């Protein structure tokens, strides 16, 4: 849906953009000063002079201020609020949540990448005390650790949260921005698997540093027609506490559930649990053939009281267990602002409470509503531990997109505990960094440990990961050398078999010129860059917003798609606020 008229005619000047979608931003002035950027002229002659090819309209400016976050010099992700001298664990023993097996000292090019230098500093951000800052990933020296391992994640909530803030004329909180969720918010034309999952790989120049390249790894889930899936047993757990007494909360929840019910098959079942001070069953499992009964129950939902999320989840999962359908689809759908102030309130404790149910095949989808006292941390962690996904609904259009177009088509799980391991060749790749996935890390040694929890993908789901690579001296993008390999491993939910596939990363997959890169690659890159800028990642210090806006407008003109039109508008809005 369009929010304003985007100028579809793009000036011939710019071209280029690589961005990891970003979704939030409260500028809480996280500030430990970084070491000065290290000049590095390693392969300026090997890669096309991106600064000339993709120069911004304005002349290059002086390098921007030092990055607000200091890159870790011994591994790990760095938090925006973490002191520069704070210890960061590294190696294969590091906490999996940090997501890095080992990190090396990062080197950044003061000249910047495709979008030039941006002199302005983000301002006027909202307080993000309901979000968690997972930091950002530094470059890893490939000679120290050639392996990068993480769990797949199909969440998109961070992107929609960002849109909500920008719609209201405010930058999102920095800690609300999870770049992978920005990128996942868009659909790409990946190879379709015959069974389970499929890998796609391509790449192009990096907007962050003219000497570097980006590699995009796409995973496509098998597409299953609605008439091929088994019957579904859905249990709605609806927050009806006083904090939900707004049209953009409970009002939008009711509209969303009505949309979903209209999309379900007659032999599916729906149950409804509500919670405020306590929890209660509003509707026991009822066949969707009795739509009027279900819709009437939804219509009579009303707010009031405190927020006992624990009671709601316990009652909801108990009801889902009673309605469990062998060989079918069993889901709990939590609709809430994430607030919990009665009973168990800690997100980690709530998440542990539902882990056993997830292992039994009752998956959780969390859908966030409202803003102000919204608890993003609770909603995201519950979805991760519940083997489902997290989305956020901010408008009627988003409710329709999620509940009519997406949720029903992705109900069927096609891959359990899916994880990726990428192995880079240290003779060609000097260093790498994964953009996003900071809280989805898996120890390298656990990649083939099938007891380790990872990510679930529904039918048609996609996951996109973007790496920035520093190449060794003398590497020519015209060579066809293999620079790495992608391994993808998951469990088949039908028979429990573990499947592993792999795909080579060849330099021939990486275009030297932005204009030659795949259109979807350019879109994913622009989204990723946008996210990195919004979360004040020091590697995005030299990105010029005017150039990013121009490239987004050019993509909008090429795609002719409402979602890409809206992206261009959002980037323009953010640029005006910086």
- CATH code, 337: 3.40.50.410
Q: Does residue 10 lie within any of the structural domains? A: no
Q: Does residue 14 lie within any of the structural domains? A: no
CA–CA separation, 130 and 339 (whole Å):
9
The domain boundary, picked from 411, 441, 476, lies at: 411
Q: Does residue 32 lie within any of the structural domains? A: no
The domain boundary, picked from 348, 380, 411, lies at: 411
Rounded-to-10 torsion of CA 386, 391, 396, 401? -90
pLDDT tens track of the chain, all 578 residues?
Answer: 433 333 323 333 233 333 333 333 333 333 333 333 333 333 333 333 333 323 333 333 233 333 333 333 334 454 444 433 333 333 343 334 333 333 333 333 434 556 554 434 344 454 544 899 999 999 999 999 999 999 999 999 999 999 999 999 999 999 999 999 999 999 999 999 978 999 999 999 999 999 999 999 999 999 988 778 889 999 999 999 988 988 888 999 999 999 999 999 999 999 999 999 999 999 999 999 999 999 999 999 999 888 899 999 999 999 999 999 998 999 999 999 888 888 887 878 888 888 888 888 999 999 999 887 788 999 999 999 999 999 999 999 999 988 988 877 788 899 999 999 999 999 999 999 999 999 999 999 999 999 999 999 999 999 999 999 999 988 876 766 899 999 999 999 988 999 999 999 998 899 999 999 999 999 999 999 999 999 999 999 999 999 999 999 999 999 999 999 999 999 999 999 99
448-454 long-range CB contacts below 8 Å, 24 or more apart?
448/489, 448/500, 450/417, 450/491, 450/498, 452/417, 452/419, 453/151, 453/385, 453/387, 453/417, 454/151, 454/152, 454/417, 454/418, 454/419, 454/490
Rounded-to-10 torsion of CA 69, 74, 75, 76? -50
Q: Mark whether 297 and 394 lie in a shared domain.
A: yes
Q: Mark whether 172 and 242 lie in a shared domain.
A: no
Q: Does residue 141 lie within any of the structural domains? A: yes
Q: Does residue 7 lie within any of the structural domains? A: no
Q: Mark whether 404 and 301 lie in a shared domain.
A: yes
Q: Does residue 62 lie within any of the structural domains? A: yes
Q: Mark whether 213 and 248 lie in a shared domain.
A: no
Measured between alpha carbons, how far apart are the two ends of the chain, in Å? 24
Q: Mark whether 84 and 172 lie in a shared domain.
A: yes
Q: Does residue 45 lie within any of the structural domains? A: no
Q: How many CB atoms lie within 10 A of CB 127?
A: 11
With beta carbons less than 8 A apart as the criterion, state whether 323 and 255 touch.
Answer: no
CA–CA separation, 193 and 436 (whole Å):
25
Q: Mark whether 122 and 236 lie in a shared domain.
A: no
Range of the domain at 82: 50-222+420-577
Q: Mark whether 391 and 532 lie in a shared domain.
A: no
The domain boundary, picked from 389, 411, 433, lies at: 411
Number of helices (H), then strands (E), belonging to the chain: the values are: 13, 18
Q: Mark whether 445 and 545 lie in a shared domain.
A: yes
Q: Does residue 9 lie within any of the structural domains? A: no
pLDDT value of residue 347: 79
Q: Mark whether 381 and 427 lie in a shared domain.
A: no
CA–CA separation, 382 and 136 (whole Å):
22
With beta carbons less than 8 A apart as the criterion, state whether 466 and 522 touch.
Answer: no
Q: Mark whether 480 and 383 lie in a shared domain.
A: no
List the structure tokens of 169: 């004329």
- Measured in degrees and rounded to the nearest 5, phi and psi for residue 524 equal -60, -35
- Closest Cα to residue 331, out of 383, 397, 381, 296? 383
With beta carbons less than 8 A apart as the criterion, state whether 272 and 297 touch.
Answer: yes
pLDDT value of residue 84: 34
Positive or negative: CA dihedral 448, 454, 459, 461: negative
**DSSP type of residue 161:** H
CA–CA separation, 29 and 169 (whole Å):
19
Q: Mark whether 148 and 249 lie in a shared domain.
A: no
Q: Mark whether 472 and 554 lie in a shared domain.
A: yes
Domain count along the chain = 2
């Amino acid at each position: 849906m369009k929010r304003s008229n985007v100028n579809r005619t793009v000036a011939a000047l710019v071209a280029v953009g690589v961005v990891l979608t970003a979704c939030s931003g409260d500028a809480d002035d996280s500030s430990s000063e970084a070491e000065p950027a290290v000049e590095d002229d390693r392969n300026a002659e090997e890669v096309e002079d991106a600064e000339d090819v993709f120069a911004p309209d304005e002349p290059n400016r002086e390098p921007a201020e030092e990055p607000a976050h200091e890159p870790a010099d011994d591994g790990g992700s760095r938090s925006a609020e973490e002191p520069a001298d704070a210890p960061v664990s590294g190696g294969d023993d590091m906490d999996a949540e940090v997501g890095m097996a080992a990190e090396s000292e990062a080197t950044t090019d003061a000249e910047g990448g495709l979008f030039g230098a941006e002199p302005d500093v983000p301002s006027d951000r909202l307080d993000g005390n309901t979000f968690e800052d997972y930091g950002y990933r530094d470059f890893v020296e490939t000679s120290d650790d050639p392996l990068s391992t993480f769990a797949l994640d199909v969440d998109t909530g961070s992107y929609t949260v960002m849109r909500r803030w920008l719609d209201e004329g405010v930058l999102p909180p920095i800690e609300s921005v999870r770049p992978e969720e920005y990128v996942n918010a868009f659909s790409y034309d990946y190879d379709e698997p015959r069974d389970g999952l499929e890998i796609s790989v391509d790449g192009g120049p990096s907007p962050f540093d003219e000497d570097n390249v980006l590699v995009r790894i796409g995973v496509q889930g098998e597409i299953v027609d609605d008439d091929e899936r088994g019957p579904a047993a859905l249990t709605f757990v609806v927050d009806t506490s006083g904090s939900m007494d707004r049209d953009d909360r409970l009002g939008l929840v009711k509209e969303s559930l009505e949309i979903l019910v209209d999309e379900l098959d007659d032999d599916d079942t729906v149950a409804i649990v509500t919670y405020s001070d306590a929890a209660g069953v509003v509707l026991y499992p009822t066949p969707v053939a009795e739509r009027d009964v279900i819709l009437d129950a939804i219509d009579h939902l009303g707010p009031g009281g405190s927020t006992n999320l624990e009671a709601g989840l316990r009652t909801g999962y108990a009801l889902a267990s009673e309605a469990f359908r062998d060989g079918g689809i069993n889901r709990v759908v939590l609709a809430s602002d994430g607030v919990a102030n009665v009973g168990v309130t800690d997100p980690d404790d709530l998440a542990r409470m539902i882990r056993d149910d997830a292992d039994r095949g009752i998956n959780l989808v969390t859908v966030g509503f409202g803003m102000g006292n919204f608890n993003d941390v609770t909603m995201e962690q519950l979805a991760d531990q519940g083997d489902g996904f997290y989305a956020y609904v901010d408008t009627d259009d988003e409710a329709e997109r999620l509940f009519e177009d997406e949720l029903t088509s992705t109900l069927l799980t096609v891959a359990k505990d899916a994880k990726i391991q990428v192995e880079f060749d240290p003779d060609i790749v000097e260093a790498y960094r994964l953009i996003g996935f900071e809280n989805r890390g898996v120890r390298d040694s656990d990649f083939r440990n099938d007891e380790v929890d990872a990510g679930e993908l529904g039918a048609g789901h996609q996951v996109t990961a973007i790496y920035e690579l520093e190449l060794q001296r003398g590497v020519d993008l015209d060579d066809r050398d293999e620079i790495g390999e992608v391994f993808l491993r998951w469990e088949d939910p039908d028979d429990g078999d573990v499947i592993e596939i792999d795909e080579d990363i060849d330099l021939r997959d990486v275009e030297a010129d932005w204009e030659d890169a795949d259109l979807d690659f350019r879109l994913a890159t622009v989204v990723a860059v946008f996210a990195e800028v919004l979360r004040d990642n020091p590697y995005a210090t030299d990105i010029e917003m005017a150039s990013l806006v121009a490239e987004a407008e050019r993509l909008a003109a090429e795609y002719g798609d409402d979602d890409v039109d809206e992206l261009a508008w959002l980037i323009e809005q953010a640029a005006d606020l910086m």
